[in-house]
Amino acid sequence: MADGLYRVLIDSDLAPGHLSYGELLIPGGSEDTVLFSCHICHPSLANDNLSGIAVATMLARHIQTLRPRYSYCFLFIPGTIGSLTWLARNEDKLQSITHGLVLSCLGDAGGMTYKQSRRGNTAIDRIVAHVLHHEEVPHRIRSFVPYGYDERQYCSPGFDLPVGCLMRTPNGEYPEYHSSADKLSLLRSESLAHSLAVLRRIVAVIEGDAVYRSCNPKGEPQLGRRGLYTAIGGQRSAGYDQMALLWVLNLADGRHSLLDMAERAGVPFATLRAAADALFAVDLLEPAPVRR
């Protein structure tokens, strides 16, 4: 449309109607639930709508191939009014939500951006920061502000859910935002694939984090006779090395989780997870009692 003055007629009625949204629940071994939410109210915008829908759909398909420890809820909702409606209809179930992410703007060429939950120190805040820290592309971690997408509804004080927002270039910070230029040509297949890969790694941390206790806590156990000596000297064919084994053995005191260990050791979570699996297989670790 050319620049100029226009007269706009909005022909609408204020009357009882309906609101449609999509919800997919993938049951896991626990009622503890991970929430993924994306908005469907901008049907003509590729990055600020369709990218989140596409990545969320592929992530749900991935989780359906697992035997998840957590349950997963995927919401495809109109922005603001959709999240408020879902929250009102499910308020008695919200205590089961342990992690959550709003997904949007995941297909442009920018680096990853994570907006923290209102609390700023929840498990999902730590997990996303850890995963992005070990990515090979630029990323930004931003503090919560009460403006943006549906995270501001999930994080409103009456709910205060542990929900952050994962994006590439944030809303309002690319010139095509909320315009007809936000079209399919703006999206990059490699960006969509990378966004999905990051989310799969986030799910892997959620699913794989655990607390262990050493079965041999008084000094370092002899690893050679347990078949773990091949990891000494930097060999990583099994996904871990000597230092990963030693970090797990030293911090497996029933208080430190694998994520705690990975953050302290400065290595990807998957490395500590693989080392813990190897130690557990030779009876050097046992699951710690759940702390209440």
The residue among 208, 233, 251 that closes a domain is 208
Contact at 8 Å (CB) between 285 and 276? yes
**Structure confidence at residue 99 as a pLDDT band (50, 70, 90):** very high
- Looking at the fold, whether 181 and 274 belong to one and the same domain comes out as no
- Looking at the fold, whether 164 and 61 belong to one and the same domain comes out as yes
**Structure confidence at residue 225 as a pLDDT band (50, 70, 90):** confident
pLDDT at 239: 81
* Separation of alpha carbons 207 and 175, rounded Å: 37
Dihedral sign of CA atoms 91, 93, 95, 96 in order: negative
- Looking at the fold, whether 191 and 48 belong to one and the same domain comes out as yes
Domain count, the chain: 2
Answer yes or no: is 292 within a domain: no
State pLDDT tens for residues 117-175. Answer: 999 999 999 999 999 999 988 899 999 999 999 999 999 999 999 999 999 999 999 99
Answer yes or no: is 31 within a domain: yes
Answer yes or no: is 93 within a domain: yes
Q: What would the two tokens of residue 220 be? A: 């370092």
Domain of residue 59 covers: 22-208
- Looking at the fold, whether 36 and 124 belong to one and the same domain comes out as yes
